[in-house]
Amino acid sequence: MRASRSSGLSALSAALFILAFPPASAAERCETMNLTVTASFPNDPGFEGLYRYALGGNWEVWPRALSHFDVFLMFNDCPDICGPGVVVFGDTAGISTGSTVDEAPCYPVFYLGEYLCEGDPSLPEEFQASTVKFEPWEGQSCEPGTVGVGSWRFYSPLPPGPGTTHVDAALIKHGQYVCTGDVTGQLPGCSVETSRESWGMIKARYGESR
């Protein structure tokens, strides 16, 4: 009888733990995530000859604040997606509103950008794809909150694909939780027509110099 009660308590404890900390793979749609991307060719200083992809939007998640967010790229048909210069960033890759430890609104939160050609290792296996990751700088007094508005950018020699709504192409990690949202606009991409020779020229021109 004592053993049975102990087993019951263990099962109850396990169930409560799962409810408090659901598995990260249980991704749902974000409460709010409106993200658009605009492609241009501005020849920004230091990024001459590269397309600029400017992201902007807002989010609302619950119950934890934004830890970082990812945008998945449509690189399935690209050769050598892990080569140098495929995606590059400025020293500051983004900026957003945030909150202090006392939950007072603040601005700005600064972000670093990272290109993870084989996927973000902090995410569940089903989300392993070529990823642009934006993560807040460490040590800031202003940090992302459960709600926010921001803008981010990255550069690539790859031209934009067609403008469309990329369903579930963005993901927010907030604590132990993940949620997905859409990205509307033009993301970089390539097709089977992109030859290895032209890809090699791209790398030679932009990758080896950076």
Instruction: Please indicate, yes or no, if residue 15 is contained in any of the structural domains.
Output: no
Q: Would you call 177 helix, strand, or coil by DSSP?
A: strand
Instruction: Please indicate, yes or no, if residue 116 is contained in any of the structural domains.
Output: yes
Are the CB atoms for 54 and 155 separated by under 8 Å?
Answer: no
Residues ≥6 apart with Cβ < 8 Å to 114: 89, 132, 133, 134, 135
- pTM for the model stands at 0.80
pLDDT for 92: 98
Instruction: Please indicate, yes or no, if residue 20 is contained in any of the structural domains.
Output: no
Domains of the chain: total: 1
Instruction: Please indicate, yes or no, if residue 22 is contained in any of the structural domains.
Output: no
Are the CB atoms for 165 and 37 separated by under 8 Å?
Answer: no
The more confidently predicted of residues 107 and 8 is 107
pLDDT for 13: 36
Once rounded to an integer, what is the mean pLDDT over residues 22-51? 86
Instruction: Please indicate, yes or no, if residue 25 is contained in any of the structural domains.
Output: no
pLDDT for 204: 63
Instruction: Please indicate, yes or no, if residue 146 is contained in any of the structural domains.
Output: yes
Residues ≥6 apart with Cβ < 8 Å to 145: 65, 66, 97, 98, 99, 103
pLDDT for 189: 84
Assess whether pLDDT exceeds 60 at residue 84.
Answer: yes
Instruction: Please indicate, yes or no, if residue 77 is contained in any of the structural domains.
Output: yes
Q: Average the pLDDT over each of 4-13, 81-90, 157-166 and give the range with the smallest value.
A: 4-13
- Domain holding 160, by residue range, is 31-207
Paired sense of beta strands 177-185 and 28-40, if any: parallel
Q: Supply the CATH number for residue 82's domain.
A: 2.60.40
In the chain, the amino acid numbered 135 is E
Instruction: Please indicate, yes or no, if residue 186 is contained in any of the structural domains.
Output: yes
